[in-house]
Structure 1
Amino acid sequence: MESGEKCAFPIDFDGKLEHDCVAWNGEEWCRDGAGLWGKCMPKEEATASATASLSSLLGASPAGVTINEVLARGAKGQVDFIELYNSGDEEVDLAGWTLEDRPKKKKKDDADADADATASSFSFGGPGCSASIGPKSVLLLRRGEECSFEFGLGEKDSVTLKDAEGKVADHVEWRKENALKGISYGRVPDGVGGFQRTEPTGGDANEGVSVDKLRAELPRGADVTKSCCNKLEKIGFSSNLPVIVIDTKCQEVRDEPKIRTEFCTCSDGLDYASWAGVEIRGSSSARDHAKKGMAVKLFNATSQKLEFPLLGLPKDDDWVMYGPETDRSIGLRNFLAYNISRSMGNYASRTKFVEVFLQDECNLRGRAGTGGLSMKDYHGVYLLEEKIKRSDKRVDVCKHNSTKDITGGYIFKHDNDNIDKGDVVFPIKKRFNSKEPMPMVMIYPKGEKKDLQREVDFLEEYLNGFERVLKSKEFADPNLGYAKFIDVDSFVDYFLGTEITKNPDAYRGSTYMHKDCDAKVSMGPMWDYNEAFGMCCGYPIEGYMASGKSGPGKSGGSAISTNGWRFNICEDYGRCKRDPVDGISHWYVRLWQDPAFRKRAADRWQELRSGPLSNEQVNANLDEATNKLRPAAIRNYNRWREEIGSKSFRSVKDQWEHEASTLREWVIEHMEWMDSELAQYKFYTHQANRG
Structure 2
Amino acid sequence: MRKKSSLHSSYWLIWLVSLLLFVNCKEPFEQPVSKGDDGQLFAIDTEQSELPYLVIDTRGAEIPYEPGVLATMKIYQRKKLVQEQKIDIEFRGKTSFRLSDKRGFNLETVDASGEGMDVSFFGMPEEEDWRLIGHVVNFKDKYIWDKSLIYNPLAYELSRKIGKYASRGKFVEVEVNGEYLGLYFFCEKLKRDSNRIDIKSLNATATNLTGGYILKIDKSDAGPEHDGKPLSYFMSNWNDDARYTSQNSFRSAFDIFGKPLSFPAFQPPYHPQQFLETYFNYEYPNAENITPAQKTFISNYILDFEKALLADDFGIEVRTYTQFIDVRSFVDYFIINELCRNVDAYRISTFLQKDRDGKLAMGPVWDFNIGFDEAKRIPDTDFVINYNDYVKNDPWMVPFWWDRLLADPQFKRAVKERWTALRKSELSTATLASTVDEMVALLQKNGAVKRNYAKWDQGIGVNYDQSIQSLKQFLIDRSSWMDGQIGGW
TM range (shorter): 0.7 to 0.9
Which one of 391, 403, 406 corresponds to residue 592 of structure 1?
A: 406
Note the residue ranges of structure 1 that are not aligned, 5 or more in a row. Answer: 1-225, 360-372, 539-558, 682-691
Kindly indicate whether residue 487 of structure 2 is the aligned counterpart of residue 671 of structure 1.
no
**Helix, strand or coil: the match of 2:145?**
coil
State the distance in 2 between where 1:566 and 1:624 align.
Answer: 27
Shift of 1:282: 0.2
Shift of 1:430: 3.5
Question: Which residue pairs with 1:410 in the alignment?
Answer: 213
Alignment of 1:322-401 (within 5 A): 322-325=133-136, 326-359=144-177, 377-401=179-203
Q: Name the % identity.
A: 33
Kindly indicate whether residue 46 of structure 2 is the aligned counterpart of residue 237 of structure 1.
yes
Aligned pair in 2 of structure 1 residues 475, 495: CA closer, same or farther (>3 Å)?
same
Q: Which amino acid aligns with 1:281?
A: R
Shift of 1:594: 1.1
Aligned residue pairs total 405
State the distance in 2 between where 1:310 and 1:357 align.
Answer: 17
Kindly indicate whether residue 309 of structure 2 is the aligned counterpart of residue 470 of structure 1.
yes
Task: Check conservation: 1:258, 1:279, Cα contact below 8 A.
Answer: yes
Aligned pair in 2 of structure 1 residues 228, 338: CA closer, same or farther (>3 Å)?
farther
Shift of 1:477: 6.5
Shift of 1:616: 0.9
Aligned pair in 2 of structure 1 residues 507, 527: CA closer, same or farther (>3 Å)?
same
Question: Which residue pairs with 2:351 in the alignment?
Answer: 512
Aligned pair in 2 of structure 1 residues 393, 478: CA closer, same or farther (>3 Å)?
farther
State the distance in 1 between where 2:404 and 2:450 align.
Answer: 45
1:509-531 CA deviation, whole Å, 9 max, x = no partner?
01100011111000000000010
Question: Which residue pairs with 2:124 in the alignment?
Answer: 313
Task: Check conservation: 1:321, 1:383, Cα contact below 8 A.
Answer: yes
Kindly indicate whether residue 260 of structure 2 is the aligned counterpart of residue 446 of structure 1.
no
Aligned pair in 2 of structure 1 residues 404, 633: CA closer, same or farther (>3 Å)?
same
TM, length-normalised to structure 1: 0.56
Aligned pair in 2 of structure 1 residues 512, 475: CA closer, same or farther (>3 Å)?
farther
Aligned pair in 2 of structure 1 residues 410, 669: CA closer, same or farther (>3 Å)?
same
Task: Check conservation: 1:267, 1:311, Cα contact below 8 A.
Answer: no
State the distance in 1 between where 2:86 and 2:395 align.
Answer: 45
State the distance in 1 between where 2:376 and 2:469 align.
Answer: 18
Aligned pair in 2 of structure 1 residues 330, 314: CA closer, same or farther (>3 Å)?
farther
Shift of 1:565: 1.3
Task: Check conservation: 2:135, 2:146, Cα contact below 8 A.
Answer: no
Question: Which residue pairs with 1:661 in the alignment?
Answer: 469
Which one of 218, 227, 249 corresponds to residue 425 of structure 1?
A: 249
Q: Which amino acid aligns with 1:455?
A: Q
Shift of 1:641: 2.3
Alignment of 1:165-184 (within 5 A): none
Question: Which residue pairs with 1:602 in the alignment?
Answer: 416
Aligned pair in 2 of structure 1 residues 580, 388: CA closer, same or farther (>3 Å)?
closer
1:473-515 CA deviation, whole Å, 9 max, x = no partner?
4468665521011000000000111110111110110110001
State the distance in 2 between where 1:249 and 1:495 align.
Answer: 45
Task: Check conservation: 1:280, 1:293, Cα contact below 8 A.
Answer: yes
Aligned pair in 2 of structure 1 residues 385, 598: CA closer, same or farther (>3 Å)?
same
Task: Check conservation: 2:314, 2:409, Cα contact below 8 A.
Answer: no
State the distance in 1 between where 2:216 and 2:300 align.
Answer: 16
**Helix, strand or coil: the match of 1:231?**
coil
Aligned pair in 2 of structure 1 residues 613, 229: CA closer, same or farther (>3 Å)?
farther
Alignment of 1:21-40 (within 5 A): none
Kindly indicate whether residue 450 of structure 2 is the aligned counterpart of residue 634 of structure 1.
yes
State the distance in 1 between where 2:170 and 2:59 align.
Answer: 26
Task: Check conservation: 1:228, 1:273, Cα contact below 8 A.
Answer: no
Q: Which amino acid aligns with 1:525?
A: P
Aligned pair in 2 of structure 1 residues 434, 500: CA closer, same or farther (>3 Å)?
farther
Task: Check conservation: 2:146, 2:369, Cα contact below 8 A.
Answer: no
Q: Give RMSD over aligned pairs.
A: 2.4
1:604-637 CA deviation, whole Å, 9 max, x = no partner?
0011111111111111111110001122012111
Alignment of 1:217-296 (within 5 A): 230-231=39-40, 236-238=45-47, 239-267=49-77, 271-296=82-107
Shift of 1:569: 3.9
Question: Which residue pairs with 2:114 in the alignment?
Answer: 303
1:414-468 CA deviation, whole Å, 9 max, x = no partner?
10x433225721222244246354211111123526x521111111101011111
Task: Check conservation: 1:412, 1:440, Cα contact below 8 A.
Answer: yes
Task: Check conservation: 2:74, 2:83, Cα contact below 8 A.
Answer: yes
State the distance in 1 between where 2:464 and 2:359 align.
Answer: 43
1:353-404 CA deviation, whole Å, 9 max, x = no partner?
1000111xxxxxxxxxxxxx5xxx2110001111000111100001114533
Q: Which amino acid aligns with 2:98?
A: R
Aligned pair in 2 of structure 1 residues 604, 228: CA closer, same or farther (>3 Å)?
farther
Which one of 568, 579, 598 corresponds to residue 386 of structure 2?
A: 568
State the distance in 1 between where 2:295 and 2:302 align.
Answer: 11
Q: Which amino acid aligns with 2:223?
A: K
Task: Check conservation: 1:246, 1:262, Cα contact below 8 A.
Answer: yes
Task: Check conservation: 1:567, 1:589, Cα contact below 8 A.
Answer: yes
Aligned pair in 2 of structure 1 residues 434, 384: CA closer, same or farther (>3 Å)?
farther
Task: Check conservation: 1:330, 1:381, Cα contact below 8 A.
Answer: no
State the distance in 2 between where 1:255 and 1:580 align.
Answer: 23
Aligned pair in 2 of structure 1 residues 667, 228: CA closer, same or farther (>3 Å)?
farther
Which one of 392, 400, 416 corresponds to residue 577 of structure 1?
A: 392
Note the residue ranges of structure 2 that are not aligned, 5 or more in a row. Answer: 1-34, 137-143, 225-246, 262-275
State the distance in 2 between where 1:476 and 1:400 align.
Answer: 39
Aligned pair in 2 of structure 1 residues 478, 257: CA closer, same or farther (>3 Å)?
farther
Shift of 1:272: 2.5
Aligned pair in 2 of structure 1 residues 234, 629: CA closer, same or farther (>3 Å)?
closer
State the distance in 1 between where 2:45 and 2:342 align.
Answer: 40
State the distance in 2 between where 1:358 and 1:625 align.
Answer: 24
State the distance in 2 between where 1:434 and 1:246 align.
Answer: 50
Question: Which residue pairs with 1:148 in the alignment?
Answer: none
Higher fraction of helix: 2
Shift of 1:342: 0.7
1:520-556 CA deviation, whole Å, 9 max, x = no partner?
0000000000100131532xxxxxxxxxxxxxxxxxx
TM, length-normalised to structure 2: 0.78
